[in-house]
Amino acid sequence: MSLAIINYGAGNLRSVEKACEAAGVAAEITRDKNTIRGASGLILPGVGSFDSAIKELRALSLEGVIEEAIALGKPFLGICLGLQHLFEASEEGKEKGLAILPGAVKKFDFAGTPWSGQSVPHMGWNRLLIKRQAPILDGLEDGTTFYFAHSYYVIPKDEPVVATRTDYGLEFVSAVWKDNIYGIQFHPEKSGAAGLKVLKNFGKLCLK
């Protein structure tokens, strides 16, 4: 069975699908509930604003389908905004997140700090500092670089879910892992061979 790339209008759907194809992972862009239920794993990509994206997910009645799949133990990968939606709320808006993981999303704010010159959004290549060797990071070394493009970052309430951090003046959480739930702030579809490795590792988890 193929993976379901959940289609709620995010702008990077096709690039994620092409990256999965390059990684040898069968994946289909879909918003059909039965197709999502039948998939071996789910990918929730995302670019744009927190509120508009979560509203679209709910308008398509996909929130419950995602929760159901996760409860059944299917591997789930949230990318960028898809990671942020796993949490309870974001400073970017007023809508509630999926609240699958406890915690919130905060905007980078370097005012009054030694890093006040840091630009927001954080864009470009940066290193992962591995705190827990999540299965999607198999074969990747501490310090491997990935491509980021974001102004907000997650603050989990539970430290054990943190898989990686990244230094951008402050050390922010750049990947989480709990059971079958994976979330990454970076864009694997823009991160070359390392990004394809992450998608390949995720695909292998979906075959187990």
| Measured distance CA(105)–CA(97) in Å, rounded | 10
Backbone angles phi, psi at 145, to 5 degrees: -95, 145
Q: What is the pLDDT of residues 22-79, one digit of tens each?
A: 999 999 999 999 999 999 999 999 888 999 999 999 999 999 999 999 999 999 999 9
Active-site residue, 187 included: yes
Point out the catalytic residue in the list 17, 92, 122, 189: 189
Q: What is the pLDDT of residues 102-155, one digit of tens each?
A: 999 999 999 888 888 899 999 999 999 999 999 999 999 999 999 999 999 999
* Whole-number pLDDT of residue 112: 87
Q: What are the structure tokens assigned to 136, written together?
A: 């999607």
Active-site residue, 85 included: no
169: left (phi over 0), alpha (psi -120 to 50) or beta: left
Point out the catalytic residue in the list 80, 85, 92, 206: 80
* Whole-number pLDDT of residue 1: 63
Active-site residue, 92 included: no
pLDDT tier, 6 (very low <50, low <70, confident <90, very high otherwise): very high
Burial class of residue 15 (count of CB atoms within 10 Å of its CB; 0-12, 13-18, 19+): middle
Amino acid at 190: K
* Whole-number pLDDT of residue 33: 96
User: Is the model's pLDDT at 11 over the cut of 80?
Assistant: no
CATH classification for the domain delimited by 3-206, as one of 3.40.50.880, 3.30.530.20, 3.40.50.300, 3.30.870.10:
3.40.50.880
Point out the catalytic residue in the list 85, 122, 150, 187: 187
Omega before 188 cis (within 30°)?
Answer: no
* Whole-number pLDDT of residue 128: 98
| Measured distance CA(85)–CA(176) in Å, rounded | 12
Backbone angles phi, psi at 193, to 5 degrees: -60, -35
